[in-house]
A and B are shown apart, each in its own frame.
Chain A
């Protein structure tokens, strides 16, 4: 079932190869952006090309070389990895278009650096998605932390630097302090190449106490998943330009975090073995705490992007909570939620950026009546909010149903209640925004004449992602198939 292929390598390399082109064309912005688009479409094409084989039950493998004794640096593309790669590479195309509109509309500087770092971080994201073992995963995880730092600190002012420090401090600190020793421990104790396997390569190798420590170190060490108390890098990272917040801090970076956690549960330990150890409940409760707390914090945030950031923290913990329930339905729900939340949340961030570009507004309290001047943007916002809350006719409902189903299946009624209560909270912090935009009178009373939307390059992407969010409700088939591949393998 394992088949050697160069496709994972190509999909990984294509955006790295775009970097010299982007630098070379730095004086001709239109051609420079063309390089980004070519790379983005090629990347998506390579990822799509892997789809038939993976749906056919194959695992596509590419091995660089044996980097440590008995430990290869290799890619193995399975259903989960491919689903994530599809979402990330597909959204890169949309985000690139949006970036062009946003960066030019908002008059941002250093755009070459911006597009270069973006391309590198997409390569790192593919590396994580395709990583065949824990070591490879770690290497690309660190590459992602470093390549996104210049994006977070793009503005270079005091706020950006503070945000950047928090960002690197948390992400680098936790990975060095927790993941690295845990990984070396696994390597020393098992002597295995740490390849992700459905039964888990740690299965039978550690006792309950050791398993608990390793699980906590690996789960909290991958701090990109935003589990409390290692979450404050994410609101801090909101100082970045909005396309960065949209693709990286709603999709690529944070999803890499939960993706790593899912790998830890399903590939490192194996859900069956974790069930025997009976240690996952600690992670469940940490995630449940994060879900509720972050939703409560989100309600009090007036800065729109910060409110979205806290919402993201909560939604990420849904995924962690789902996988920690160990029930097949919940695990499948978690995997699907990666994609569902990605489309919903990127729409919301696109909207936040469009509002900033068109109206210069950053705060929820300023949004009164904005629906009249920016109907497309605020309409898309409403759809994104519905999906993240988990309302019908949007994709977010499906994954949430699976998560709740899984909680019931696992017999965890308290955790089921967490899902339900937090969904209500999601509605509470999102819908006032929609209400303000469409039903409140704008400040100063008089309605400004006519529609004043952001540039087309901003509005088209956000409309597109909003449409996809709805379509995912009607056509979730592919996601079902890819995620059930992982469940079937167990």
Chain B
């Protein structure tokens, strides 16, 4: 029996990736003509996948380091290997849990927005999640490319299922995404030629053995891969595809992709920097650390200001993501433990708070039928429960304790100070202040109602009869509260999480 459980625990990474993939196939197989078959299959496979991810996480933590899994038992450099450390396990757990919770959240929306195409929707949805998990686990640079393409192709199709303007946004994303993926592939090609392997650890070992760090081709490969990844993660000024794609996509797609896609790409960047090229090269030999931190400073400031200028709620949030991507890239590049920890921790915390905010905003847009900031007018009164979730996410974006956004900022600012990158520190604080303006502007509107509209005489919350519970289904509110709880828990347990991440990133 114990052996059996040991076997299961050992196979957990594979379950995490394959459960959604097989789920996708089953949905296509059985879902034809039966629109309602998609959701149960999706929930079952994602639950399985979540169990796999959690078991993997415990396994990694118990083993105290990293887990290696060979697909089909084939040893590298020929076979594909999974390499799972605490960061990978946590990121994968975040991916599948967001996927699962979002499937529940969007239950009614998928039925309404996709209609009879719902089975196709769930097929794509599950493939996207399988791809993201694979990206997180794999230790093979080419397999990584394939998986990136899987996630991209599925997300192009998913986005295009949105409203009338979605098709064009998706096309825009196709162009940018293809350019990005091609640059990445080109870089991997260079590396393959120089090192003769596609295994990420093997590449670093081969480069160290051959002593070719100073080679121009290595630097070119490094830059190609980075620019490719930056395009996929919407690093300013390569963010052009994102705002429209995320805001015109179907509700379920926006809430799934906004928290996950950019964060997983940041994870890949960390992986490439630290494991394919190694910290010595990334921070030293490549000689571009200072420039990248400066670029991230620009990204943070630009993202914040662009968000401030938007009156469309979802677009405003997507520009905030642009700024948050700047946080993470900067943290990854200041080149010290605090910054790196902050960047890795922010992958989790930004996923939690973006998820929380996107769900809250989706509910609000849905209930009010207004996608602009005016939708918030008087909402604390009309939709108090939804606004609680929104408030938690917003306070985290501003960076107030004890939400996770505060602790991200703590580590990142600490990293910036340690490295003496004051421009980056100032940009982080500036973004906090701009976020405070953005969200308190919303709070004020939600709290008081229209500016020029006098409070109705005798309007007193104490004497007003209780309102019906804002008519938002529990299948939407519970996921929102789970995300809000995650924002707080990730914050309160930041010390534990950061400890695991630090151990995973120490090379």
Residues of A bordering B, CB below 8 Å: 26-27, 29, 66-69, 109-113, 138-139, 142, 146, 150, 153, 156-158, 161, 164-165, 168, 172-173, 176-177, 180-181, 184-185, 187-189
Chain B residues lying within 8 Å of A188, measured Cβ to Cβ, are 338, 414, 417-418
Q: Which residue on A lies nearest to B418, using beta carbons?
A: A188
- Distance in Å from the Cβ of B477 to the closest Cβ of chain A? 19
Closest to B445 in A: A161
The smallest C-beta distance from B425 to any residue of chain A, in angstroms, reads: 6
Q: How far is the CB of A160 from chain B (nearest CB, A)?
A: 8
CA distance A299 to B414 in the complex (A): 46
CB < 8 Å neighbour of B436 from A29, A161, A172, A187: A172
Interface presence of B447 (CB below 8 A): yes
B220 at the interface (CB under 8 A from A): no
* Min C-beta distance of B393 to chain A, whole Å: 15
CB of A75, distance to nearest CB on chain B (Å): 16
Least distance between A113 CB and chain B CB atoms (Å): 6
The count of residues in chain B whose C-beta lies closer than 8 Å to any C-beta of chain A is: 35
> How many Å from the CB of A291 to the closest CB on chain B?
29
- A442, chain B: closest CB distance, angstroms: 32
Cα A302 to Cα B327 in complex, Å, equals 49
Query: Complex Cα distance A112/B400, Å?
Result: 26
Q: Is the CB of A139 within 8 A of B444?
A: no
CA distance A29 to B402 in the complex (A): 33
In the bound complex, what is the Cα–Cα distance between A344 and B433 (angstroms)?
A: 36
CA distance A303 to B417 in the complex (A): 46
Q: In the bound complex, do residue B462 and residue A161 qualify as a contact, i.e. CB atoms below 8 Å apart?
A: no
**Interchain CB contact (< 8 A) of A173 among B417, B418, B436, B459:** B436
The verdict on B429 contacting chain A, using a C-beta distance below 8 Å, is yes
Q: Is B399 an interface residue, CB under 8 A from the partner?
A: yes
Q: Say whether A180 contacts B429, CB under 8 Å.
A: yes
Contact B495 A69 (CB under 8 A): yes
Binds A, one of B80-88, B151-159, B448-456: B448-456
**Shortest CB distance A124–B (Å):** 12
Assess A177 versus B401: contact at CB under 8 Å? Given A157-B454, A164-B444.
Answer: no
Cβ–Cβ contact B444 & A69, under 8 A: no
How far is A184 from B415 in the complex, measured between Cα atoms in Å?
10
- 6 CB-based A-B contacts, threshold 8 Å: A29-B462, A68-B495, A110-B461, A168-B440, A181-B429, A188-B414
A161 and B433 form a contact (CB under 8 A): no
| Bound Cα distance from A153 to B455, whole angstroms | 13
CB distance from B156 to the nearest CB of A (A): 39
Note all chain A residues with C-beta closer than 8 A to B145.
none
**Chain B contacts of A164 at CB under 8 A?**
444
CA distance A346 to B458 in the complex (A): 30
Is the pair B429, A177 in contact by a Cβ cutoff of 8 Å? yes
Which one, B402, B407, B447, B495, contacts A153 given CB within 8 A? B447
- Does the CB pair A112–B499 fall under 8 Å? no
Q: Are the C-beta atoms of B413 and A184 separated by less than 8 Å?
A: yes
Check A66/B418 contact, CB under 8 A, given A139-B402, A157-B454: no
Contact yes or no, A112 B417, CB < 8 A:
no
- Is chain B's binding surface mostly helix, strand, loop or mixed? helix
Asked whether A67 lies within 8 Å of B444 as measured between CB atoms, the reply is no
For the complex with contacts A142-B400, A180-B413, 7 further pairs of A-B residues with Cβ separation under 8 Å are A27-B462, A173-B433, A176-B429, A180-B432, A184-B414, A188-B338, A189-B417
Q: How far is the CA of A184 from the CA of B418 in the complex (A)?
A: 10
Most buried by A among B409, B432, B461, B462: B462
Q: B-side interface residues toward A, CB under 8 Å?
A: 338, 398-402, 407, 409-410, 413-414, 417-418, 425, 429, 432-433, 436, 440, 444, 447-448, 451, 454-455, 458-462, 492, 494-495, 498-499
Chain B residues lying within 8 Å of A112, measured Cβ to Cβ, are 461-462
Contacts of B447 in A (CB 8 A): 150, 153, 156
- Min CB–CB distance A176 → chain B (angstroms): 5
Residues of B within 8 A of A113 (CB): 461
Instruction: Given A142-B401, A158-B451, answer yes or no on A110-B495 (Cβ-Cβ < 8 Å).
Output: no
Q: Are A181 and B417 in contact (CB under 8 A)?
A: yes
A188→B460 CA distance, assembly (Å): 49
Inside 8 A of A184's CB, which chain B residues have their CB? 410, 413-414, 417
B444 near A161: Cβ-Cβ < 8 Å: yes
Q: Which residues of chain A are within 8 angstroms of B402 by Cβ–Cβ distance?
A: 67, 139
Q: Evaluate whether A67 and B400 lie within 8 angstroms (CB atoms) in the complex, with A112-B462, A177-B433, A181-B429 already known.
A: no
A112 to B407, CA, bound (A): 33
State how many angstroms separate the Cβ of A67 from the closest Cβ of chain B: 6
Contact A110 B432 (CB under 8 A): no
> B174 to nearest A CB, angstroms?
40
Q: Are B401 and A138 in contact (CB under 8 A)?
A: yes
Residues of A within 8 A of B458 (CB): 109
A67 lies within 8 A of B417 (CB): no
Which B residues are CB-close (under 8 A) to A161?
444, 448, 451
| Chain B residues, CB < 8 A from A111 | 462
What are the residues of chain B within 8 A of A158 when measuring CB–CB? 451
- Chain B residues with Cβ under 8 A from A66's Cβ? 495
Residues of A within 8 A of B444 (CB): 161, 164-165
A156 vs B457: C-alpha distance when bound (angstroms): 12
- Closest-CB distance, A206 to chain B (whole angstroms): 13
Q: A172 contacts which chain B residues (CB < 8 A)?
A: 436, 440
Task: For B401, give the chain A residue with the smallest CB separation.
Answer: A139
Which A-B residue pairs are the 6 nearest by beta carbons? A109-B460, A139-B401, A184-B413, A188-B414, A156-B448, A176-B432
Q: How far is the CA of A109 from the CA of B414 in the complex (A)?
A: 45
- Residues in B with CB closer than 8 Å to A187 are 414
Inter-chain contact A153/B417, CB cutoff 8 Å: no
- With a cutoff of 8 Å between Cβ atoms, the chain B residues found around residue A185 in the complex are 417
Contacts of B448 in A (CB 8 A): 153, 156, 161
Closest to B336 in A: A188
Residue from A109, A113, A185 with most neighbouring chain B CB atoms (10 Å) = A109
